[in-house]
Structure 1
């Protein structure tokens, strides 16, 4: 389906793998088009409930492939803005997705690759994982969302330490900071197991809960939205099945079609 990705779905969990291992999954323009299209496809697909984003060959994503990047010095500001918007839109889609997304980070996640991982709802890291907002090291700023995402995940002061120095976030630090759910020898398997945990719960409630998590939303706006979402859930068949299963002391059985 894609040149630079693998898109695989099994039992309701979709795995999107950036597949350029020879360059540590660094992206080119085609990769960004593929990622944006794959995320749209997942968001709109019936029977696909959780997405795991990962990379092939032991890396997550090493950021932009400098050997295939446009020559910025030959571009207009408008042309560059269009290029950067496409990279930002990967983060935008991940952040705006109601369906849960999990980053399985086996190795380096650098620059925009780090931002792709940060934009997911949950992260599992491997022993060789490195999360690095290294833009300042090459005289750039986190143009893909990192300086917005990281403070909201680990706090402003600690985020600035990593943003202003470009130093690595190790697997141990990622777990200690609450940035990662866990460190696992096989982060992809652990991410899929986490996805199965999410998948075992009423799907509409999961999506609406995910949507409610917004640090920018004022409390009264949250309460108004919660009324609408809770009413939807009260009338959802999976809510009724969950309540009946609890009362009968059994596992719920949801009437779903899995892709």
Structure 2
């Protein structure tokens, strides 16, 4: 695996199946720079193509997940036209798709601030764990921007359209318990236990068949844009593939022996 400047990428140890990506700019509360976006896209592509990876844990270094887009990085780009800005957004589109379309389940372990693009990135994960000191905010309106990195897609699907509008238009900060109550997170845990709980959850998922995990994730993601007939067809096609997998045969034989 390539070494990066702004992230840490850890491959699964032994046969654990658990990979970890850590946003690693703690001095800036892991603000999302252009380099970090590019490095995250590259790492996600490599991990997604690696058959040993069954689960990915995404976290932030220090006491923050991600404070949002790096404003200094934005200012350093200088004045740009709308067309130039549109071209610049391409790297964030690639990053967003790489995370949303990651082959296997992704767990976001969110500690401290997840503001702006940081919140958007967390919501792209399949499962979100929050520490009890986590704070989330669609902060974009405070700097004259609109939500990006997939938030316009994920947020209304998680909390409903009216609540999504309220969060995006007011840029109101919410704490971990409120975020959990809205459906933005699976669990809230003490901050000292966050990483251990993320690994425990990842271990329970990694016990499954890599093929079945991937197919289940993809099918559930498709369900919100599909009807029952389409989903039944996806079930049949996916099950046909899963039934031929070595993991299914081994599990079935083990069950019979019991």
TM norm. shorter chain > 0.5? yes
Q: 1:3 aligns to what?
A: 5
Shift of 1:76: 2.7
Q: In structure 1, the residue corresponding to 2:4 is in which secondary structure?
A: coil
| Equivalent pair of 2:64/2:111 in contact (CA under 8 Å) | yes
Shift of 1:117: 0.3
| Equivalent pair of 1:87/1:144 in contact (CA under 8 Å) | yes
Distance (whole Å) between structure 2 residues aligned to residue 37 and residue 206 of structure 1: 22
Gaps of 5+ in 2: none
Q: 1:117 aligns to what?
A: 122
Q: 1:207 aligns to what?
A: 214
Q: In structure 2, the residue corresponding to 1:175 is in which secondary structure?
A: helix
Distance (whole Å) between structure 1 residues aligned to residue 77 and residue 27 of structure 2: 24
Q: In structure 1, the residue corresponding to 2:22 is in which secondary structure?
A: strand
Number of corresponding residues: 249
Distance (whole Å) between structure 2 residues aligned to residue 38 and residue 98 of structure 1: 13
Shift of 1:14: 0.7
Q: 1:84 aligns to what?
A: 89
Q: 2:143 aligns to what?
A: 138
Distance (whole Å) between structure 2 residues aligned to residue 229 and residue 238 of structure 1: 14
Runs of 4+ in 1 over 3 A off after TM superposition: 70-73
Shift of 1:224: 1.8
Q: 1:55 aligns to what?
A: 60
Q: In structure 2, the residue corresponding to 1:7 is in which secondary structure?
A: strand
Shift of 1:70: 4.7
Gaps of 5+ in 1: 250-259
Give the TM-score normalised by structure 1.
0.91
Query: Over residues 50-82 of structure 1, what are the superposed CA-to-partner deviations in whole Å (9 max), with x where a residue is unaligned?
Result: 111111011001111111225566223232112
Alignment of 1:21-100 (within 5 A): 21-70=26-75, 74-100=79-105
Give the TM-score normalised by structure 2.
0.91
Instruction: Name which of 244, 250, 254 aligns with 1:235.
Output: 244
| Equivalent pair of 1:202/1:242 in contact (CA under 8 Å) | no
Distance (whole Å) between structure 2 residues aligned to residue 199 and residue 225 of structure 1: 23
Moved more, 140-149 or 230-239: 140-149
Question: RMSD of aligned C-alpha atoms?
Answer: 1.6
Shift of 1:98: 2.6
